[in-house]
Structure 1
Amino acid sequence: MKRAELEQHIREGVLVPFIGMGVFKETQNEEGMQIPYDSDSMILALNGGRAMSPRLMYEYSRAAMSLEQRKGRAYIEGMTNHIFTSKPYAVPEVYVWLKSLMPRYVVDVNLDDSLLKLYADTDHFLVTGVSRIMGGYERFMVYMYHAQEKRYERIEKELLNSMLPILFKPLGCVVPEKNFIISDADFVDWLTEAMGGYAIPAFLKTYRENKAYLFLGLDFDRDTFRMVANEITMGLSGGYSVGDKNELTKKEEKFLLSHHITHLETNLEHFLKGAH
């Protein structure tokens, strides 16, 4: 499918952009530091540029769990926030492209606020994930953004509707509250409640039915992100995937095939330039 057709489907709301870490591959902050774009670079950023043991380097959630156990929850939250807020960096090209389309519904598993910047002048809803909280099973918070006042307001989940664009950041965000799903314990808690139906607002469960997805920069080789994507896209009607890998692993191929997702034979850079 040509990119122009994909863009039309996004505008129509039948194709939902689903954004992952890979979109940051060419992004550095103003001091030349790389913004994490895969598991390894995330681990290095969390651990002050130092590699960890091979067992922990397998997936950043393991490394984050080890750091949390040794240095405390406040440390891992503070480091995550520091990575994405300490120094300015340009919004990745994927977001620049999406700004021309202004989708009505977007899923973004990144932890920064690049997606939110697209909608800074537009009223919208924001749904962010949370984990390991007391007082209930729900693992999300719902906000309404008031563009004129440039502020988010926490609202009741029942107020979520399709009258405004919906930005879904299931793994948390640096704003409006610093909630991050990043360590093994976070993912286990969130996925457990997701499987029980408590990680996604009731409105979104209905709204997402029969939608297709355009996965941009997602690494389906990691068990964690396959599980997250599976829970978020329940009831999907297929879709497309664009990344920077030359060859897919058997795990990736199996996941894409079982979800009727077509892997486009192009990388992100060429896709965004319209070469596909």
Structure 2
Amino acid sequence: MNAILHEDFLFAVSEEAAEKALFDVGRGLRRGALAPFLGPGLVALQAGERRVPAAPEEVAAALHTRAPAPSRIRTNMWSVAQHIEQRRHRNTLKAWMAEIFSAEPQPTALHHWLAGLALPLVIDSWYDGAMRAALVESGRTDFANIQGITRAGEVRDIWTRIYGADGNATDDPAASTATTILYEPHGSARPAGNFLVADSDYVEVLTEIDIQTPIPEIVRDRRGSLGFVFLGCRFDDQMLRTYARQIIKRSKGPHYAVMSGAELTRNERRFLIANGITLIDMPLPNAVNLVVDAAPAP
């Protein structure tokens, strides 16, 4: 099937055209011309029994079991987390998030494959730490891990923290020389339990993000020569759309998103159109296999 241009101008490919696009995505990743943008949907590809949530709604449900939230916010992770922070304290929220994501990370075949590439930039938008674990398991020491942090309790003008392959905090010069930057904009359970999850965590971030202040300078520098491929991501919440849009801002492109065309919400469709993202309409497991199997770049 050829690429089709929907009447609302969403560029989408499926069937044979999707396979060709994924072959190109795989080659682009191998060349370091594309950056993977990984989402919670990859949790479903883990081998064996799934041990951590695979969507914000699942985190909301896990938090709700610990502290029941009002029905009007029960399925919204950010609002449920805010409810807990206000009534139980920030430390309680952090402890519960660490508990929810306490299982050892289970990198998928995709994570391991990406860890073997000299990618200049990887975005991991989930809390489980699977991409970091794959980099560590590969034996690589030439990566730096930059994580978004909450401003709660901070007196400095700080938005992120940087960790080396050994899990210890490091400084900006160390990150600037790293072969691979792993950027986790919402934080991660590992190595230090940084979680941006409550509405209050995002108040200052969303005030500043249009001028890019919360996004690390090295991420802004490296994205200028890159396109992005979204794998395991959804954009059905304004928070997720805002972060993705600002992270890929001023990047070179092209951009791709592996998603089900039939499941797109109206806002997701608009987001893809507005940001020039090609929809690759294929089940995620099939797409990942094609990306990993892509022929090496000449």
TM-score, reference length from structure 1: 0.87
Work out the percentage of aligned pairs sharing the same amino acid. Answer: 23
User: What secondary structure sits across from 1:63 in the alignment?
Assistant: helix
1:136 — aligned with what?
Answer: 156
CA contact (8 A) 1:210 1:235 kept: no
2:250 — aligned with what?
Answer: 235
Quick one: structure 1 residues 39 and 64, their matched pair in 2 at CA, closer, same or farther if it must change by over 3 Å?
same
1:109 — aligned with what?
Answer: 125
Give the aligned residue type for 1:127.
I
Which stretch has the larger CA shift, 255-264 or 227-236?
227-236
Which string of whole-angstrom CA distances, capped at 9 and with x for unpartnered residues, describes residues 101-141 of structure 1? 45331000111221111111101111011121423333011
Consecutive unaligned residues in structure 2, runs of 5 or more: 1-19
The alpha-carbon deviation at position 55 of structure 1 amounts to: 2.1
Give the aligned residue type for 1:154.
A
CA contact (8 A) 1:64 1:184 kept: yes
CA contact (8 A) 1:220 1:226 kept: yes
RMSD: 2.5
User: What secondary structure sits across from 1:25 in the alignment?
Assistant: helix
The alpha-carbon deviation at position 53 of structure 1 amounts to: 3.8
Give the aligned residue type for 1:157.
D
User: What secondary structure sits across from 1:16 in the alignment?
Assistant: strand
Q: For 1:17, which of 32, 36, 50 is the aligned residue?
A: 36
1:43 — aligned with what?
Answer: 60
Q: For 2:107, which of 87, 91, 103 is the aligned residue?
A: 91
Whose radius of gyration is greater, 1 or 2? Answer: 2
Q: For 1:262, which of 239, 263, 278 is the aligned residue?
A: 278
Give the aligned residue type for 1:266.
M
Distance 1:245 1:190 in 2: 31
More helix by share: 2
2:145 — aligned with what?
Answer: 126
The alpha-carbon deviation at position 265 of structure 1 amounts to: 1.0
Count, aligned residues: 268
Kindly indicate whether structure 1 or structure 2 has the higher relative contact order, using CA contacts under 8 Å at least 6 residues apart.
2
TM-score, reference length from structure 2: 0.81
Which stretch has the larger CA shift, 230-239 or 87-96?
87-96
Quick one: structure 1 residues 161 and 274, their matched pair in 2 at CA, closer, same or farther if it must change by over 3 Å?
same
1:177 — aligned with what?
Answer: 192
2:224 — aligned with what?
Answer: 209
Distance 2:96 2:46 in 1: 18
Quick one: structure 1 residues 210 and 55, their matched pair in 2 at CA, closer, same or farther if it must change by over 3 Å?
farther
Distance 1:166 1:226 in 2: 22
1:68 — aligned with what?
Answer: 85
